[in-house]
Structure 1
Amino acid sequence: MAAIHKLRKCVVSPTGKHSASVIFLHGSGDTGQGLRVWVRDVMMPGLTFAHIRVIYPTAPARPYTPMHGALSTVWFDRYKISYDSAEHLQSIDAMCSTLGSIIQDEVIAGIPKHRIIIGGFSMGGAMALHLACRYHPDVAGVYALSGFLNKDSVAFQAVEERVRAGHSLPELFQCHGTSDELVLHQWGEDTSVLLQKAGMKTTFHSLPGLHHQISLQEMELLKAWILQKLPSS
């Protein structure tokens, strides 16, 4: 078996005792450091907490089919950026294993999985959903900002199977701008509806006029939700 690639990480430490963690995945072509700076520019001083460590990993550069095979820092490959497209499961599953090592590092550091939240922006949100729905359903929550799952995603089936077996699932938090022309608002909303239909508890916020970007309103909503799911202990 090939060795798991160690990802570069940008980490924002809590101001007090560390008792919970958030893993925040960037969108395609970005970096963990880039996302951290973007969040800080939108909401000073950034996504900071007294007890929660926020981890911004960077995806390794890989050939990306929608860019005609050019290298890009993306979590997985796509056949095309389309709600109706098949998923590139080989690259998704490989990255789930790689990102799982970050979760395991937090557990080794003393943070139980029910005190960890996984989320992301755009492609990072889709990656987080695969991680939480299929591989780490015992985390405290999952969020997706301006992201979506493909119409026939295997994640929907994974949620249904877990519900039928009587197992628990993390809660999903989503935000999506109504003016997003890259990842359509309808794709994000449909993802929420299908996951809810499969048995997952979801919260979906439509943000009028927001394009494919993050906003202060969105980050304030997210921070409040994170603190609800991961209160200080």
Structure 2
Amino acid sequence: MTQLLPCVEHKPSVAPTACVIWLHGLGDSGHGFAPIVPELKLPESMAVKFVFPHAPERPVTINGGMRMRAWYDIKSLDFNSRADLSGVKESAEQVSALIDAQIDSGIPANRIVLAGFSQGGVVALHLAPRLDKQLAGVMALSTYLCEPGLLSEQAKETNRHIPFFFAHGNQDEVVPMFMGNAAYKTLKDNGFNATWKSYTMQHNVCMQELNDISAWLQNVLA
């Protein structure tokens, strides 16, 4: 049995009926995105619980082997081999266990949104198309796809029709926008229900994006 990742949780004032599992980027932690929950201004009646897991600590090759929170190792910044597939798979299993834990707590899979920023988005985009449980939707923020060539043979039907929301900054120098757009197009080409939005920002989130995320969540979890 996979040991559950430690998480920061933001619970509504009533019993939660929906959940957003939000994966942070390289070197960050679950605390990084937790402060944005109030910024989303979701109606309390939506009863959404937010779960921000901490990635395990591991040595990261491009940072001189320094240990930090990372969902996988990055051995080079090359577009095609940036994400270490074995690490991505390992993290995807840990996130899958978190989804199961939410289901066990009484929140059905189709009321769970999987979100990820940068490295976290890579894990979300790897897991969701291969999952045998239907989620509510997926948010892929300033991110890219690990081994895009594997998707066509490994994707399941389960989540092909749920909404995938892609958002990226057109001034992003960490994950250039063409990488995010390539991921979006790969999912579209494989029959996934993906939408794309770009913003005037770098490798971060901006207020307009948060407003769009809020509207998207209210639509998906209506």
| Same topology, TM > 0.5 | yes
Q: What residue ranges of structure 1 are gaps of 5+ in the alignment?
A: none
Q: Percent identity?
A: 29
Alpha-carbon contact 1:22-1:116 (below 8 Å) kept:
yes
Alpha-carbon contact 1:117-1:140 (below 8 Å) kept:
yes
Alpha-carbon contact 2:40-2:214 (below 8 Å) kept:
no
Alpha-carbon contact 1:31-1:58 (below 8 Å) kept:
yes
| SS in structure 1 at match of 2:88 | helix
Q: Classify 1:156/1:142 alpha carbon distance in 2 versus 1 (closer, same or farther; 3 Å).
A: farther
**CA separation in 2, counterparts of 1:103 and 1:17?**
17
Corresponding residue to 1:32 among 24, 30, 33: 30
Q: Deviations over 1:55-89 (max 9, x none)?
A: 00000101112212210101112222332216422
| SS in structure 1 at match of 2:9 | strand
Residue 122 in 1 paired to residue 114 in 2?
no
**CA separation in 1, counterparts of 2:82 and 2:27?**
21
Residue 57 in 1 paired to residue 48 in 2?
no
RMSD across aligned C-alpha pairs, in angstroms? 2.0
Name the amino acid aligned to 1:74: A
**CA separation in 2, counterparts of 1:82 and 1:132?**
24
Equivalent residue for 2:178? 186
TM-score calculated relative to the size of structure 1: 0.86
After TM superposition, what 4+ stretches of structure 1 lie above 4 angstroms from structure 2? 44-49
Equivalent residue for 1:197? 189
Deviates more, 1:210-219 or 1:137-146: 137-146
Q: Classify 1:6/1:62 alpha carbon distance in 2 versus 1 (closer, same or farther; 3 Å).
A: same
**CA separation in 2, counterparts of 1:62 and 1:49?**
38
**CA separation in 1, counterparts of 2:63 and 2:41?**
31
1:131-170 pair list within 5 angstroms: 131-136=127-132, 138-150=134-146, 152-159=148-155, 162-163=156-157, 167-169=158-160, 170=162
Alpha-carbon contact 2:39-2:210 (below 8 Å) kept:
no
Name the amino acid aligned to 1:8: P
Deviates more, 1:82-91 or 1:126-135: 82-91
Q: Classify 1:16/1:148 alpha carbon distance in 2 versus 1 (closer, same or farther; 3 Å).
A: same
Q: What residue ranges of structure 2 are gaps of 5+ in the alignment?
A: none
**CA separation in 2, counterparts of 1:176 and 1:225?**
15
**CA separation in 1, counterparts of 2:41 and 2:28?**
18
Name the amino acid aligned to 1:172: F
Name the amino acid aligned to 1:33: H
Corresponding residue to 1:80 among 76, 91, 108: 76
Q: How many residues align?
A: 219
| SS in structure 2 at match of 1:34 | coil
Alpha-carbon contact 1:14-1:48 (below 8 Å) kept:
no
Alpha-carbon contact 2:170-2:199 (below 8 Å) kept:
yes
Deviates more, 1:81-90 or 1:52-61: 81-90
Equivalent residue for 2:164? 172
Alpha-carbon contact 2:85-2:147 (below 8 Å) kept:
no
Q: Deviations over 1:135-190 (max 9, x none)?
A: 3551111111111114635335423xx35xxx552321011010111100111111
